[in-house]
Amino acid sequence: MRFPDPKLQLAVIDEVYRRRAQYAWVADQRAAYEATAPATPWTELEDNHSEHAPELEAFLARLPVSRADLETIDHLTLDGDRDLYGWVYPSWWELGDHFVIRDLTGLEQCMRLRYLLLGQGVVEGASLKPVARIPRLHELHLCALCRLRDLPALLDSPSLRKLDIVNVETSADRDAWTAVIAELRALGVDVDAHGESRSP
């Protein structure tokens, strides 16, 4: 399975492979990486504490993910805490937005996904339409400062029961979020909007 956004592809690969083995799974790929006769030796990757390793990133991005793999994901946190990120670009968080996800298309293929967190600084400017199409999504956590698009799509989410959202009041999309939050509550969704100013 492939995702249109290559950074989402990497995040899902990390999620799938850590579920197969353990959190620190990338080191287990050494033999497969070395079999490709890479220009950058593994020992250099092990000693890398800051620089981007594009050859390793390209190798990891090609690791297979099946539809059955996606069906093992019931809980997904899209944040900066991924083994893959630490190997591919250890200092990315301080230096820029290398792993930022801007398109969530394909997440609807995670048929058993019930919990999703869209981390601030990791998911930016993405449409929420794919999120609304996740059939079993029960709980969603996000930050209103992430300039997410198509907010009303959440009203059509078939299983959404809890939305936890931060920074609504300081968001440029405050009015849009306020309207969507009110409609979600009317539909019976439990919305926790941190810092929200509500009428008594």
Residue 200 has pLDDT above 50, yes or no: no
pLDDT-derived band of residue 21, with 50, 70 and 90 as boundaries? confident
Residue linked to tokens 């990791």: 122
In this predicted model, what pLDDT tens digit does every residue of 113-139 receive, in sequence order?
A: 999 999 999 999 999 999 999 999 999
Residue 104 has pLDDT above 70, yes or no: yes
The DSSP 8-state label assigned to residue 163 in this structure reads E
Domains in the chain and their CATH numbers?
A: 6-194 (3.80.10)
In this predicted model, what pLDDT tens digit does every residue of 154-166 receive, in sequence order?
A: 999 999 999 999 9
Cβ distance 136 to 31 under 8 Å? no
Average pLDDT, the chain: 95
- Determine the length of the chain: 200
With a pLDDT cut of 70, the percent of the chain lying above it is 97
Please state, in angstroms and as integers, the Cα–Cα distance from residue 40 to each residue in 45, 51, 55, 61, 97, following that order.
7, 12, 7, 16, 23
In this predicted model, what pLDDT tens digit does every residue of 68-103 receive, in sequence order?
A: 999 999 999 999 999 999 999 999 998 889 999 999
pLDDT of residue 96: 84
pLDDT-derived band of residue 199, with 50, 70 and 90 as boundaries? very low
In this predicted model, what pLDDT tens digit does every residue of 28-67 receive, in sequence order?
A: 999 999 999 999 999 999 999 999 999 999 999 999 999 9
In this predicted model, what pLDDT tens digit does every residue of 162-178 receive, in sequence order?
A: 999 999 999 999 999 99
Residues 137-142 have a mean pLDDT of 98
Strand order from edge to edge, sheet including 75-78: 75-78, 115-118, 139-143, 162-166, 190-194
pLDDT of residue 88: 97
pLDDT-derived band of residue 194, with 50, 70 and 90 as boundaries? confident
